[in-house]
Amino acid sequence: MRNGCAGCSNGFTLIELIITIVVISIALAAMLGAFSSSMSRSADPMWRNKTIKLAQLYLDEVLSKKYDENTPVGGVPAAGSSGGAALTACGSLGSEAGEVRATYDDVDDYDGVTDNPPVAVNGALDASYANYTVSVVVVCDGTAASVNGNQHAKKIKITVMPPAQGAMDFYTYKGNY
């Protein structure tokens, strides 16, 4: 009799140790798999947030401009209405000859803009946006916006392509008022 206990054993058998090691290994592998999966996606919110900020920068810039080349300051009377100047034809969107981004004065001027890297109207953005691409498309789409006449609303599409991510599209409308 050892230590006063008949049939008592001290320690583990080899089989018990092997089973314990296998169970701990399986649990550890599952935990590490879940951890590495979450870590690989940890940058997604940062990319998404930067993409949204960049799209908002471009949308704010475009929407701050006049509806049409012939729209008066303040928008009244609306171009194409009685008493207002004629609207520019929807098929002739894009900037006028010789215009650069700093002199864009209406929404149409932004049609076809593609910036890589993106820039703000007042200069370059910080270096963290260097691998982003932004493109702008403007189309007359009054019918889809439920206004009277296709030429009285323009759909503005901003596409932002962050590095190593899928493109994100942002849409808004600018009305003739």
Taking 60 as the threshold, does the pLDDT of residue 1 lie above it? no
Contact 143, 166 (CB under 8 A): no
Residue 4 confidence (pLDDT): 57
Q: Are 21 and 63 within one domain?
A: no
Q: Tell me, yes or no, whether 52 lies in a domain.
A: yes
Q: Are 27 and 53 members of one domain? A: no
Q: Kindly state whether residues 30 and 53 are assigned to the same domain.
A: no
For residue 164, give the DSSP letter. Answer: T
Q: CA 52 to CA 170: how far, in whole Å?
A: 9
The mean pLDDT of 16-30, rounded to a whole number, is: 93
Instruction: Look at residue 137 in the predicted model and tell me its pLDDT.
Output: 94
Percent of the chain with pLDDT over 70: 80
Instruction: Tell me which residue of 69, 62, 60 sits closest to 93, measured CA to CA.
Output: 69
Instruction: Give residue 7's pLDDT.
Output: 61
Asked whether residue 65 is assigned to any structural domain, the reply reads yes
Does residue 1 lie in a domain region?
Answer: no
Are 59 and 146 in the same domain?
A: yes
- Taking the whole predicted model, whether its pTM rises above 0.75 is answered as no
Q: Identify whether residues 34 and 104 lie together within a single domain.
A: no
Task: Tell me the two tokens of residue 151.
Answer: 């030429």
3-state helix, strand, coil in the chain (%, to 5): 35, 20, 45
Give pLDDT, residue 46: 82
Q: Do residues 150 and 86 both lie within one domain?
A: yes
User: What token pair was written down for 65?
Assistant: 């401009």
Residue range 12-32: average pLDDT? 91
Highest mean pLDDT: which of 68-72, 82-86, 164-168? Answer: 164-168
Same domain, 161 and 75: yes
pLDDT of 44 higher than 70: yes
Q: Which domain holds residue 28?
A: 12-42
